[in-house]
Amino acid sequence: MNDFQHIAAQLPDSFRLLWRESVGSTNDELRKLAEQGMAEGLVLVADEQIAGRGRRGAVWVSPKGENLAFSILLKPMAPKVLWHRLSLVTGLAVAEALENYVPLAEIKWPNDVRVGGKKIAGILVEAGKDFVIIGIGININTTNFPDELAATSLQELTGRMYSRAEVLQELVTRMSRYVDQINQEYADALKSIRERCALTGHLVSYLIADQRREGMVRGIGSGGELMVETDGKLEALVQADEVRILD
């Protein structure tokens, strides 16, 4: 029995663990199961992904056995227009789980988690007709990232190795509390998200419809939007890609 099979019985009610040695992408595998009518709460974790995906078609590499690559199937009660909020609440769950091991994890709107200015986790939220799949990759025990990736891992930050299963259990426990907060209780989650926002007070550039723009981040709005000031005008961004800190 591996570490993941050990924690299967300790996940919160309504969450079930499915472990695979190797898959293409956990998001793609879980989508197939969702389309066959699988109930929500399934967490698919793989030791290895051979076609892991990031946002905008990027490749997500995670060496076999070192890091966490998993996806969670949800069927939120909240209206579908609010499901995009899952990116930020997932970022919060990841940040809090990591804060068991490191002092402060920041949320880089809309879907990265950073520690010490470097990316430690990425989130890929993909909706289907009546379900949503939350894919999460967290660097746990990999070390020696190429400089250009500006990435880090728990081991690189602390000098010790971690049980991937223990981090997964922490995270799913937090997710079970936060998924329902995308509706009425979103303001509570936002308070903790704002405290960890990596972008507030920074000059950033970002892509919208493949156009690069720039502005000063003033905070996160009541619907989770990034509030950006450009030429004295405040704009609420619901979505943007490749957000870069310039200062």
Instruction: For residue 91, give the 3-state DSSP assignment.
Output: helix
Q: Which of 39, 50, 58, 150 binds ligand BTN (CB under 6 A)?
A: 58
Length of the chain measured in residues: 247
**Of residues 93 and 136, the one with the C-beta less far from ligand BTN:** 136
Q: Which of 137, 172, 190, 228 binds ligand BTN (CB under 6 A)?
A: 137
Q: Does 41 bind ligand BTN (CB under 6 A)?
A: no
Return d(Cα 215, Cα 227) in angstroms, integer.
9
Q: Does 69 bind ligand BTN (CB under 6 A)?
A: yes
| Min separation Cβ 243 and ligand BTN, Å | 11
Q: Does 27 bind ligand BTN (CB under 6 A)?
A: yes
**Of residues 16 and 218, the one with the C-beta less far from ligand BTN:** 16
Return d(Cα 35, Cα 226) in angstroms, integer.
32
Return d(Cα 138, Cα 94) in angstroms, integer.
8
Return d(Cα 48, Cα 154) in angstroms, integer.
18
Instruction: For residue 50, give the 3-state DSSP assignment.
Output: coil
**Of residues 77 and 128, the one with the C-beta less far from ligand BTN:** 128
Strand ranges (E), the chain: 16-23, 42-49, 68-74, 106-108, 112-115, 118-127, 132-138, 203-208, 211-220, 226-230, 233-237, 241-245
Per-residue burial over 69-81, b = 16 or more CB atoms within 10 Å of its CB, e = otherwise:
bbbbbbebebeee
Encoded one letter per residue, x for contact with ligand BTN by CB under 6 A and - for no contact, window 149-178 reads ------------------------------
| Min separation Cβ 228 and ligand BTN, Å | 21
Q: Does 55 bind ligand BTN (CB under 6 A)?
A: yes
Q: Does 31 bind ligand BTN (CB under 6 A)?
A: no
| Min separation Cβ 187 and ligand BTN, Å | 26
Q: Does 61 bind ligand BTN (CB under 6 A)?
A: no
**Of residues 76 and 110, the one with the C-beta less far from ligand BTN:** 110
